[in-house]
Every structure is written in structure tokens, then in C-alpha cells.
Amino acid sequence: MKKILFSLIVLLVFKASAQNLEFGKVSKQELLESTHKLDSSAVAAFLYKKAKTTYKYTLTNGFSMVTEFSIRIKIYKKEGLKWADFEIPYYVGYEKLADENVTILNANTYNIENGKIIKEKVLGESKFQESTNEFWKTKKITFPNVKEGSIIELKYRYKSENLSELPLFQYQYKIPVNFAQFITEIPPFFLYNVVQLGFVKVSHEDKIEPITVRYDNEHGQAEYLNYQQVKTKYEAVDVPKLIEEDYVRNMNNYYSKIAHELKTVQFPNQPPKQLASTWESVAKSIFEADEFGGELNKSDYFFKDLKRIVKSTDSTEVRLKVIFDYVKNKMNWNGNLGFFTKSGVVSAYNENSGNVAEINLMLIAMLKIVGIEANPVLLSTKTNGVTLFPNKSKFDYVIASAEVDGKRYLLDATCKNCSINNLPIRDLNDKGRLISKDGITSEIDLVSDNNSVNQMTMSFKIDSAGEVIGKVVNAYFDFEALKFRENISGASQENLIDNFEKKYSGFEVENYELVNDKLVDQPVYEKYTISNKNFGEILGDRIFFSPMLCFGLVQNPFKQNNRQFPINFLYPTRGKYLININIPKGYKIETLPESISIGIKQKQASFDFLISSNAEQITINSNLDVNATIIPAEDYDYLKNLFKLIIEKQTEKIVLKKI
């Protein structure tokens, strides 16, 4: 009897839970829940997220795809209120297909007041649409009266004639997901490659089932199409929130999700047709578009100006720089992404303003006219993520590649502070795809293997009262110079000094000077005098002080015990310190840190701390080299321990004793 009663209770609980997964069936229990069942720190949670993809058929357009999404989110804390603002992007840049479409079917906010469930519907003014760019639109929904304890529900329909890939189904977020389900019902004529990303386990179940599809013939009469469709169900339960980690190119690349790419189409009595895109076919289709290849062929609009700016030199390398500088200084980027032009290169040139494509395609066309081999490079920016399949809709940016004497140079004329081969940080996402008119394409690295250097030279003295005064010269090269220029853009000298003195309490800066800050092809230098009246710690007849002044590492950037994701440094770097310390008269060295030289496996990173001295001076030469832009997660402990050692060494005290 007890076993039967227990089974009945389990069954009732299961049924109640199942009802809660139905849209509109929000329970008091869910509304009264004050914390998440598995994660008390969660600010909100998906109680469920479900999607179902089916196929429709018309005689005129053939098959199209419809996906219905439904979600329920519980808000636990004030910080979770941002989950009540939804954005749904969809693509409208097809040449031969109808635009994708998103329709909001139902959206509600639920609260509990005086023991009763209060439902508020999202009205028309809270649902609106905006154009992100010429290829993308976004449907936005704002839920009313959302507060701590609220539940929101949303159901929407996504339609697309593009069968080359199914909607990406993401089932892991910054908040927990209690239940996720993605069902696909795919006709047997279409075979997809399925890719599951992330680290969350997903169950899936396949079955074959008969289906009848009704459609109207050319006379408006009903006809029926019968076939055996493949129904697949993907499910994940109790998906934990993704803990974001530093030094990751784009966290969106690591959330667990499911993607489908169309591989083969085979209709009855026809041979199979391989449809999975190749990079060659993508490159060819892009070049054939008037907004791309057509714009590259135009040159009349700039020819007179180009002739004027290059007439004084026959050097190919000089011409490359002169043309790049001309376009970069003349043109102003309007902030719009994309690899297709919008207004066109001619209009952009005349108005001195354009999108990414207009500026960089213009640059490529100019380089070609003077005989430099130049081609576009497509890429997906950092915020856009990586491309899973060969598909032009996944790119959102184009830069220029030029070859001179067998050497490749990369250029992005949208960036005023960039030099040749120094791209803005937004471009440094995975690799680029170089394409040419004949359809030849290749993957290329966007970052040089050479380390970008930040070199600090310090010469200071410390007196018997512990006061320190000295001169500092910071030199920034390549990407480090670009980053420095971007960081100080618009700041006055007074602002820079104030920020420094706030960051390093007790230190004062005088005689501040910037050298080459406007010459983006040159290293930039920062020079100043630094002082601190109470830097050294006086204990009896001894002075204790750090040889790094205020500039050494004091906190390990890698704090987590474990690491899931690769560590990404964007570009190789070298941090170099050259330090000279004058010993005050009447004192001698009692204790010096020991020299050390250490590296982690395969020379991914290394640290040198070399110290020498005589009766009057201490000299330190220290380098931190990060040679690998990506370090695998399994090597995280090596890197963490390396930085731990660096901090220990840089905070170790020098001890001077009175003679």
C-alpha cells in the first residue's frame, strides 16, 4: 500500500510539473518561490524554454520553415529585471528569398497580489521593431509591471524561407534554465548536419512518423503531400548558469546551443543535391553582388585625387601607406557594420562618411588602381561571435588585405588610430576569410605573431626618510600603442595626471609629456616625474621598499580554481621593465630578491626577473612574455601559478641597512 501511495504522489507531482510547462499555466507556487531551487544566487531563471520547428509547403514557394518559441522566466532579484526586456533579431538581407519574419503571439507579466494571480498582457506599444542595419531587424518587447517575484511569458513565431540552417537554439544563459526542449520535424528530403556547442549534456530522441501536408494547387484546390518526417526531440534539465570568465574573446561562443546546417537535398526520383555551402560558393556570391563586387569596380570618383596623392613616389610600400592614410583621414566611419555598401562608395566619398564596407572597399579599389594586389577580408567582429558554417550572413565586417613583395598587410581605414597591420580590437575575433573575384578564398590570421611591447624605464632614488623620486618613460608599440591611444582619446593632460594620482594613492606626477601620440605609425611615449614622500617603510636602521614602485602586479587576474574556457589574450605581448635604483648614502644592501627565469609549457608564456647591484645602484631587468594568443583551458593552472609567482617576485621587498 505504501508503495502504491508513493507512486501516486510521484505521478501527481509529475503531472503538476508538466502542467507548469504549458504556456499560460503559471502557478502560485512558482510566483511565491523566492530563490531558485538549485542556485540561490540566481537573479532570474528560465522556468522553461521550448521551441518547435516545422515545415510548410506552397506550390509557388515550395518548403518554408516555421519555428514557435515559448519561454517562461522567473525574476528573483532586482538585478534580474533586465530579463524583462527582450530582443529578437532576424535577417532581412536575402536577394532571392522573402525577409524573415517574427510575430509576437502572446506575452504576459504575472504577479501575485492578495493571494491572487494577476496577469497583465503586453500591449502593442510595448512591442516594436527597429532596423539594426540594412540586413538585420530586431523585434523588441518590454514587459509591464515587472518586479522581484514576477514571472514573464513570451510566445513568438519565426518564419524563414532560408532552409540552409535552422534557428540557433540556445539553452544556456547567464541565469539557470530549469527545462529546455527543442523539437524539429524535418521532411525526409532535407538532411542537416547537427552541431552541439558547449559543455551541457543534452538528451535527444529520434523517430519517424507519417505526416500529411495540405496545399492549394494552381486552381486553388486542396491537394495533399504525404511523407515520413523525422521528428527529433532535444532536452536538457537543470542547466546551470554559465559563469563568465575573464580573458575570453566572446562568451557567447561558449554558451550551450544547437545548430543545424543543411547538407543534402533529395526529392523523390531525383539524385541527391549537396547543398552545404562552401567558402568558395560564399565568396563567389558575395563578389557577384552589386553592393560588393560592383562597388569595387568603380574608380572615376576618386581618380583625380588618387593621382595627386601618389604622384610624388614610385615606391609601392610608400604608396600603400599614403593611400591608407588618405582614406583613413578623409573618411569618417558612421558606426554601421556590414560587408555590403548602403549608400554606395561614390556617395560616401563625396560626403566623407560611410559604413565599414564603403570605406574599406574604397580603399581596396584605390590600391588596385596603383597596381597593388589588394583583396577584401571578411570577418565576424568580437561581439558577433564565430561562424559555425560557411554562410555569408554570419559575417558583419570587411577589411583590406594588400600584398607587397610577397608580404601581406592588413588595413582597416575606419580606425583613425590604427596603423598598417594594427587592426582595431573589435576586428580581432578568430580568423578572417580572404576572398577574391575568381572565388578563391583562404583563412588568414588577423594578428601578427610578433609581441606588442609595453616597455617601462624607471630611474629613481630613495632617501633615508623613505621618500622616493624618479623619472619614468613608458613606451607603447603596435597593438599596445593603439590600445593606449584609444584609452587616452579625448582626455586632457590634467585628466591623465588626476587619474594616475587617484589610482596610485600617495604618488604625485609632474612634468608629464606625451610624444608621438598623434603619429599612429610610431611608438607612443609617456614621460613624467614621479614622487612619494612616504614610500619606503622605516624600521629602525632599515628601509623596506618594493622595486616596482606602484607598477607591479598585486592581484592575480586568474582567481578561479578551475577553468572551462580557453584563455584569450587577443594578441601576443611583452611587458618589459628596466629599473635603476640609486642607494642613499650611508646605506648598504642587506636583502635583494633573487633572480628568476621561468616559463610554461611550449613557451606559451614566460617571466624573467634579473637583478644585479653594486655599492651605489640596483638594476632590474624584467620581462613578461605572453607568446600565445590562446592558451588551452587544461593549461590554466600553469598560467595561474606563473602569475602567482610574478606577484610574489614583484612585491618582494628590497631591504637597505644603515651603515
> pLDDT tens for residues 37-96?
999 999 999 999 999 999 999 888 889 999 999 999 999 999 999 999 889 999 887 777
Residue with the larger pLDDT of the pair 40 and 275: 40
| Phi, psi for 254 (deg, rounded to 5) | -115, -5
Using the predicted structure, report yes or no on whether residue 176 has a pLDDT greater than 80: yes
Using the predicted structure, report yes or no on whether residue 3 has a pLDDT greater than 50: no
Residue with the larger pLDDT of the pair 232 and 7: 232
User: Cα 569 vs. chain centroid, distance in angstroms?
Assistant: 12
Using the predicted structure, report yes or no on whether residue 231 has a pLDDT greater than 90: yes
> pLDDT tens for residues 484-515?
999 998 899 999 999 999 999 899 999 999 99
Which region among 153-157, 335-339, 570-574 has the lowest average model confidence (pLDDT)?
335-339
Buried b (16+ CB within 10 A) or exposed e, 240-270: ebbeebebebbeebbbbbbbbbbbebeeeee
- Where residue 273 falls among pLDDT bands split at 50, 70, 90? low
At 7 the pLDDT is 40
CB-count burial class (<10 Å; 0-12, 13-18, 19+) for 394: middle
| 450 vs 429: CA distance, rounded Å | 17
546: Cβ–Cβ under 8 A, 6 or more apart, which residues?
552, 650, 651, 652, 653, 654
| 373 vs 379: CA distance, rounded Å | 19
C-alpha cell at 54: 516545422
- Where residue 382 falls among pLDDT bands split at 50, 70, 90? confident
560: Cβ–Cβ under 8 A, 6 or more apart, which residues?
243, 245
Using the predicted structure, report yes or no on whether residue 142 has a pLDDT greater than 60: yes
- Where residue 1 falls among pLDDT bands split at 50, 70, 90? very low
Torsion sign, CA atoms 576, 582, 587, 588: positive
- Where residue 275 falls among pLDDT bands split at 50, 70, 90? low
Q: How many residues does the chain have?
A: 659
What's the mean pLDDT when you consider all of the chain? 89
Question: Beta strands of 294-356 (E only): which ranges?
Answer: 332-333, 353-354
> pLDDT tens for residues 236-249?
999 999 988 888 87
Which region among 17-31, 275-289, 311-325, 335-349 has the lowest average model confidence (pLDDT)?
275-289
- What value does the mean pLDDT take over residues 195-223? 89
At 252 the pLDDT is 79
- Where residue 11 falls among pLDDT bands split at 50, 70, 90? very low
556: Cβ–Cβ under 8 A, 6 or more apart, which residues?
640, 643, 644, 647
> pLDDT tens for residues 340-381?
898 899 999 999 999 999 999 999 999 999 999 999 999 988
Residue with the larger pLDDT of the pair 9 and 54: 54
- The strand pairing partners of 229, in sequence order, are 209
pTM for the whole structure? 0.78
